[in-house]
Amino acid sequence: MSRLLQGIDLVEIQHLKAFMERHASRLPDIFSPDELEYAMARSDPSIPLAGRFAAKEACLKALGIGLGMGEGLGAFRAVEVVRQPSGRPTLALSGWAERRSRQLGVSDMNLTFSHTGQYAVASVIMTAKAGEELD
């Protein structure tokens, strides 16, 4: 028997753009080099970065973890959005996020995200072993 873990997040693109302008040096604290390279190659990097930020938040929610877990912005580096050759986005977990997913018995993760002119939204659904409890 398995159970579903789900997280969703909505990011206002303009807020992320303002963060980028004020704190450009902090972007590597949140995004991997590959995520930044992908976004910076676009005409408006704030759009793909907002989608990736929403995906990271949604993943944290699915794992039952909030930013108050002592990781701060570094929490986002343990979750990376990776593009498959087909273009399909997937998640790669490392460090504490990977340990948490093993603790929960996560066997599969699915990510989808989208954006409009104003917002980026992401949803993460994980399949986990039944009986493994969130702390």
Indicate the average pLDDT of the chain: 90
Does residue 69 fall inside a structural domain? yes
Model-wide pTM > 0.85 = yes
Paired tokens of 117: 């002119």
The CATH number that applies at residue 100 is 3.90.470.20
- Give residue-wise pLDDT tens across range 40-96: 999 999 999 999 999 999 999 999 886 555 556 667 889 999 999 998 999 999 988
Does residue 134 fall inside a structural domain? no
Does residue 90 fall inside a structural domain? yes
- Give residue-wise pLDDT tens across range 97-130: 999 999 999 999 999 999 999 999 999 999 998 7
Does residue 135 fall inside a structural domain? no
In degrees, to the nearest 5, what angle opens at C-alpha 86 toward C-alphas 109 and 64?
Answer: 15
The parent domain of residue 104 ranges over: 2-129
Does residue 88 fall inside a structural domain? yes
Paired tokens of 108: 């599969």
| DSSP per residue, 20-34 | HHH-GGGHHHHS-HH
Q: Tokens 């938040």 label which residue?
A: 57
> Looking at the 3D structure of the chain, how many domains does it have?
1
